[in-house]
Amino acid sequence: MRIKVRYFASFRDAAGKKEEDIEIRDSARVKDLVSYLISKYPGMKEMYWEESIYTLNYNIVSEETKLSNGDDLAILPPAGGG
C-alpha cells in the first residue's frame, strides 16, 4: 500500500524533502513506518520519536495506529514551550 508521508522541521531536514509517497506492507502500523524511515534516513535515528506527534489524515494518532492505503501521515517533532 502507498502512504503519503509529510515531514516537518528536523524530520524534513533529515529526509531532505518535505513529503514523499512510501510503499509499505499491508497491515503496517505507524511504528512500522517509523522503523522503515529510520533505516532509509540514518539521520532520523537520533530523533525524539517517543515525543513526536503523528497525524493521520489530520487526526492525532499513536504509533500503534494501523495504516491504510492512501493515508496521509504527518510527522512533527515534539512541541516546545516556554
Topology of 2-76 in CATH?
A: Ubiquitin-like (UB roll) (3.10.20)
Strands (E), 1-82: 2-7, 19-23, 53-56, 59-61, 72-76
pLDDT of residue 16: 96
- The pTM score is 0.91
What is the spatial distance between Cα 8 and Cα 27, in angstroms, rounded to a whole number?
25
pLDDT of residue 72: 98
The whole-angstrom distance between residue 27's C-alpha and the CA centroid of its chain comes to 16
Residues 37-59 have pLDDT tens digits of: 999 999 898 877 778 999 999 99
Contact 4, 71 (CB under 8 A): yes
52 φ, ψ to 5°? -70, 160
